[in-house]
Amino acid sequence: MARRRFLQRLEEEAEEHDISKELFLGIMMLMLCLGIMILNVASPVWRVHQHDPEEGDVVVVYTSSGFGLSLDGIVVDKPLTEWGFRRTVNALIAEPETDVHLILKGGSHELVVRHAAYTDSMLSSGPAGAKVRTAVYVHGW
């Protein structure tokens, strides 16, 4: 009688610790995490490119002392405030061929990210709200 209970208990424990179920769940979790990572990479809020400014493009240089418009992409020729930057970007809505280049030479990464997101949302979207073009280029990342 004791032997029968012992064998029955062994069979129950074998069913409870089925390694194939644990392995299957582990693989599913890994695939889920991989899918989330791919989605995060595939649809960024803004696009980061290495693309040289062309004539007529707006170039904003960020330094440790502030940010502003630049003619050569090296030094700040006209300092900007936050509102000045927004006015400049808003004025470019009427000029669909003009791109904005944000060049980080120092200063805050967060400010460049915020400006890139704002510029992309204002200049890259069509009337329906879908992305129609790349309008902002970030340099010196």
Q: What is the pLDDT of residue 125?
A: 75
Q: Residue 47: how many CB atoms within 10 A of its CB? A: 16
Contact, 69 vs 112, CB < 8 A?
no
Average pLDDT over residues 20-49: 73
Q: Is the pLDDT of residue 46 over 90?
A: no
Written as one letter, the residue type at 56 is G
Encode pLDDT of 57-66 as tens digits. Answer: 899 999 988 9
Lowest-confidence pick of 18-32, 41-55, 78-92, 109-123: 41-55
Q: What is the pLDDT of residue 88?
A: 92
The phi-psi region of residue 107 (left if phi > 0; otherwise alpha if psi is between -120 and 50; otherwise beta) is left
Torsion of CA 29, 32, 38, 43, to 10 degrees: -140
CA pair distance 136, 124, nearest whole angstrom: 8
CA pair distance 116, 113, nearest whole angstrom: 5
